[in-house]
Chains A and B, each alone.
Chain A
Amino acid sequence: MSTKINLHELAEKVIKLGLSFGADQVEAYTIFGAARNVQLERGSIRKFTDVSNSGLGVRIIKNKAIGMASTTIFSHDSIEKTVKDAYSLAKVTPPDENFKSLPEDTRPTPEIKGCFDQNIIELSVEDFTVMILEGVQEAQVRDDAIIGGSFTAGSGERFIINSQGIDRFSKQTSITGYLGVKIQDGDDIGNAYYFDSSKMLADFDHLIVGKEAGTRALKMLGSQKIESATLPILLDPDSCMGTISPIISSGINAFNVFNRTAYFVDKIGDAIASDKLSITDDPFYHGGVDSSAFDDEGVIPQKLNLVKEGILSTYITDSYTAPLVGLDNTGHASRGSFASRPTPSTYSLDIKAGETTKDTLLEDLKEGILLIGSSIVDMSGNPQISAQINQGFYIKDGEVQYPVKNAMIGTTVFEVLEKIEDFSKEQQNRHGHKSPWMLLSPLQVSGGK
Chain B
Amino acid sequence: MLDTIEKVINKISMPSKDFLDIRYAYAMGESFTVRNGRFDSVSNQTTGGVAIRALIDNAWGFTTIVTIDEESILKAAEKAIRIAKIGSKFAKQERKIKDDWVFEGKGMTKLEIDPREIDKKTKFEKIIQTEKAAREFSDRIAETSSTYQETHSKECVINSKGTKVENENHVVRIMKNVIAREGTEMQSVFDSIGGTGGWELIQKWEPEKEGLEAAGMALKLLSARKPPSGRMNVIMDPSLTGVFVHEAFGHACEADAVIAKQSVLENRINKRVGVEEINVYDDPTLPGLRGSFDYDSEGTKARKRVLVEKGILKEYFHTLETATALDMEPNGSGRAMNFNFTPLARMGNTYVDSGDKSLEEIAELTKEGVYLKNSYGGYVMPAKGQFYFSCQLGYFIEDGEITDMIGNVGMSGMTLEVFQNTYAVGKKWAPEFLGTCGKQGQGIPVTAGGPDIGVSGIVIGGSQ
Contacts and interface: CB of A to CB of B under 8 A. Distances in A.
Given A125-B83, A379-B377, A86 B44 contact: yes
B97 to A, nearest CB: 14
Contacts of B409: 384, 386, 410
Interface in A133-187: 133, 146, 148, 150, 180, 182
Interface residues of B, number: 82
Nearest to B231: A448
Contacts of B186: 261, 382-384
Interface in B1-52: 35-36, 38-49
B80 to A, nearest CB: 8
Interface stretch (A20-28, A41-49, A274-282, A295-303): A41-49
A386 B408 contact: yes
A73 B381 contact: no
Contact of A448 (B95, B384, B457): B457
B42 A66 contact: yes
Contact of B390 (A78, A261, A339, A378): A378
A50 B181 contact: no
Given A72-B47, A260-B181, A261-B179, A146 B260 contact: yes
Interface in A410-449: 410-412, 414, 444, 446-449
Contacts of A390: 381, 386
Interface in A381-399: 381-384, 386-388, 390
Nearest to B144: A259
Contact of A388 (B39, B45, B412): B412
A129 to B, nearest CB: 5
B188 interface: yes
A52 interface: yes
Contacts of A80: none
Contact of B229 (A38, A97, A446): A446
A147 B184 CA distance: 44
Given A66-B39, A382-B187, A410 B261 contact: no
A182 B262 contact: yes
Name which of A98, A339, A379, A444 has the most chain B CB atoms within 10 A of its CB. Answer: A379
B98 to A, nearest CB: 18
A378 B462 CA distance: 12
A68 interface: yes
A414 B59 contact: no
Interface string B176-214: 000101001111100000000000000000000000000
A36 B142 CA distance: 44
Contacts of B249: none
A50 B83 contact: yes
B342 interface: yes
Interface stretch (A88-96, A114-122, A195-203, A357-365): A88-96
Contacts of B376: 379-380
Interface string B326-342: 00000000000000101
B435 interface: no
Given A47-B60, A51-B62, A180-B262, A126 B86 contact: yes
Contact of A378 (B79, B227, B410, B464): B410
Given A70-B46, A444-B463, A406 B62 contact: no
A68 B31 CA distance: 10
A48 B60 contact: yes
Contacts of B184: 263, 383, 412, 414
A53 interface: yes
Given A49-B62, A51-B62, A259 B48 contact: no
Contacts of A42: 93, 259-261
A65 interface: yes
Given A70-B43, A259-B35, A386-B408, A48 B142 contact: no
Interface stretch (B63-71, B156-164, B273-281, B424-432): B63-71
B454 interface: no
Contacts of B340: 51, 53
Contacts of B40: 341
Contacts of A412: 184, 463
Interface in B118-156: 120-121, 124, 142-143
Contact of B262 (A71, A74, A148, A448): A148
Nearest to A132: B90
Interface in B247-287: 259-262, 264
A54 interface: yes
B48 A41 contact: no
Contacts of A378: 390, 410
Interface in B299-340: 340
A65 B121 CA distance: 14
12 contacts: A45-B92, A46-B95, A69-B45, A85-B44, A148-B262, A191-B384, A380-B392, A382-B186, A384-B408, A387-B461, A406-B414, A446-B460
Interface of A: 38, 41-54, 65-74, 78, 81-82, 85-86, 89-90, 92-94, 96-98, 125-126, 129, 133, 146, 148, 150, 180, 182, 189, 191, 228, 259-261, 263, 339, 341, 378-384, 386-388, 390, 405-412, 414, 444, 446-449
Q: Which 7 A-B pairs have the closest CB atoms?
A: A408-B461, A386-B410, A386-B461, A388-B388, A47-B60, A68-B43, A410-B463
